[in-house]
Amino acid sequence: MRRLLELRTVEVPDNVQVKIDGKRVEVIGEKGRLVRDFSYAPVSISLEGNTVKVQSEWPRKKEAAITGTVAAHIRNMIIGVSEGFTYKLKIVFSHFPISVKVEDKKVIIENFIGEKSSRVAEIRGDTKVIVQSEDVIVQGINLEDVSQTAANIEQATKVKKKDPRVFLDGIYLYERKRGMEIE
């Protein structure tokens, strides 16, 4: 039997301000400001006190799942503007030393497995990328941008036409956490 109402709540801390205009959610905190439009989702979003309520009436299985997804996105926005997100990647090579540098909105990977041409990974949004010796640190307030930037860097060093068990060179994710170490 279907439920009459699917309701998810998200608590808003004191140091974060949330504004809701229809299905457009704006979250403002000490680290920055995030805006997201949920007009595609068949849910209603409301702010009551310090609680954001995401609900759908007479939900089918998909609508119930979307309710939880929208609530999780809002929760990640709140964490992002108050703490931020950090992903750490390790540069791994056996013979040819890989050179990594950041230029504008791109990460340039040179000398990967001795290749003459550079490999390029896109940096999404306002994400910061820092190269420290053999670590690549990706930081930002938007979880989707931070994780996609880390994935772009990892995928740029994918070994093609060789046995991946033997050729282990690349840049690999080894740590994800809340909070930003380097401001």
- SS3 for the chain is CCCCEEEEEEECCCCCEEEEECCEEEEECCCCEEEEECCCCCCEEEEECCEEEEEEECCCHHHHHHHHHHHHHHHHHHHHHHCCEEEEEEEECCCCCCEEEEECCEEEEECHHHCCCCEEEECCCCCEEEEECCEEEEEECCHHHHHHHHHHHHHHCCCCCCCCCCCCCEEEEEEEEECCCCC
| Per-residue confidence (pLDDT) for residue 95, from 0 to 100 | 86
Query: For the chain, what is the domain count?
Result: 2
- Nearest C-alpha neighbor of 138 from the set 91, 73, 88, 93: 88
Angle in degrees, 0-180, between the axes of helices 61-82 and 143-156, rounded to the nearest 10: 90
Domain span at residue 13?
Answer: 5-82
CA distances from 85 to 9, 20, 47, 63, 173 (A): 22, 23, 25, 29, 14
Which residue is associated with the tokens 């699917």? Answer: 6
Q: Domain check: are 21 and 99 in the same one?
A: no
Of 36, 64, 82, the position where a domain reaches its end is 82
What does the alpha-carbon distance between residue 127 and residue 129 come to, in Å, rounded to a whole number? 7
| Per-residue confidence (pLDDT) for residue 1, from 0 to 100 | 55
Written as six digits, the tokens of 49 are 């006190």
Q: Give domain status of residue 183, yes or no.
A: no
pTM exceeds 0.95: no
Task: List the pLDDT tens digit at each of the 183 positions of the chain.
Answer: 566 888 999 999 999 999 999 999 999 999 999 999 999 999 999 999 999 999 998 889 999 999 999 999 999 999 999 999 999 999 999 989 999 999 999 999 999 999 999 999 999 999 999 999 999 999 999 999 999 999 999 999 998 888 888 889 999 999 999 998 765
Q: Domain check: are 77 and 97 in the same one?
A: no
Of 82, 110, 128, the position where a domain reaches its end is 82
CATH number at residue 70: 3.90.930.12
Q: Give domain status of residue 101, yes or no.
A: yes
Could you give the count of Cα atoms lying within 13 Å of 140 in the half-sphere of its Cβ? Answer: 19
